[in-house]
Amino acid sequence: MTQMIRIPAEDGHTLDAATAGDPKAARGGIVVLQEIFGLNAHIRDLPRRFAEAGYYAVAPALFDRAETGVELSYHAAGKERGIALKTAVDADSLFDVSAAIGVAATAGPVCVVGFCWGGSLAWRAATSLTGLAGAVSYYGGELPSKAGLVAHCPVLAHFGEQDKTISMECVDTFIKAQADADPAVITHIYDADHGFNCDARAQYDATAAETAWERTLAFLDRVSR
């Protein structure tokens, strides 16, 4: 069962977070990083799925700095509002990611798993925060433009070949920049669109989502040992 808690960031801000799992019995901690649509039903359900896989998961409400209780729908108006909120909080978002890492660390080694904007934050966390065992990015739009950053932990990146917001040329740029990375950066490309993991979106692709999920769990199991 997913529960809501309050967690403090180091700059004094306090935010909501959805959690699931038993940190005392878990094999490690997972920080789930949201899309631009807020801590909605889809994101709140992901901690439960990770808990069922044996982890203690924490999903911070990254829009709380601008507005609390944000849950946006996957349509044009929701996207527009989400982009505005993301722009408002993005500069301070890693404070909140770091706070969630601290909570998840009560279960052991911590990995971040992010989707869309959260996928970009997962990469930024891997390159700028300490204390991570690994990072997973689902269709993070900033990875190509920030490909020159150096990750401090293993990274797994998922992209959709049909994603019009992240071209395959940009993905290739990221792959080439990480070819000799150590720790390793592994990239998978799917015959799917942006948002393919989310069953609440029209772009949902069950086959790609299942394959990416299996690869994610295998990666988390390996780096969390």
CB 62 within 8 A of CB 100: no
User: Could you tell me the residue ranges of all domains in the chain?
Assistant: 3-223
Mean pLDDT over 30-53 rounds to 98
pLDDT tens figures, 137-169: 999 999 999 999 999 999 999 999 999 999 999
- Maximum C-alpha span of the chain: 44
Ramachandran assignment for 210, one of left (phi > 0), alpha (psi -120 to 50 degrees), beta (any other): alpha
Give the other-Cβ count within 10 Å of 125's Cβ.
30
Quickly state the pLDDT bin for 188 (edges 50, 70, 90). Answer: very high
13 catalytically annotated:
no
170 catalytically annotated:
no
* Three-class secondary structure of residue 65 per DSSP: coil
Mean pLDDT over 192-214 rounds to 98
The whole-chain average pLDDT of the chain stands at 97
Q: How far is the C-alpha of 2 from the C-alpha of 47, rounded, in Å? A: 7
Q: Which of 64, 96, 163, 193 is catalytic?
A: 163
Nearest Cα neighbor of 97 from 20, 19, 32, 42 is 32
pLDDT tens figures, 98-135: 999 999 999 999 999 999 999 999 999 999 999 999 99
Whether the predicted pLDDT of 171 surpasses 90: yes
Per-residue pLDDT, 153:
98
Mean pLDDT over 171-180 rounds to 97
Q: How far is the C-alpha of 219 from the C-alpha of 154, rounded, in Å? A: 9
Per-residue pLDDT, 103:
98
Half-sphere exposure of 158 (CA within 13 A, CB side): 28
pTM above 0.95, yes or no: yes
Q: Which of 116, 158, 193, 205 is catalytic?
A: 116
3-223 belongs to CATH 3.30.420.40? no
Per-residue pLDDT, 172:
98
Q: Which of 111, 194, 198, 205 is catalytic?
A: 194
Per-residue pLDDT, 1:
80
75 catalytically annotated:
no
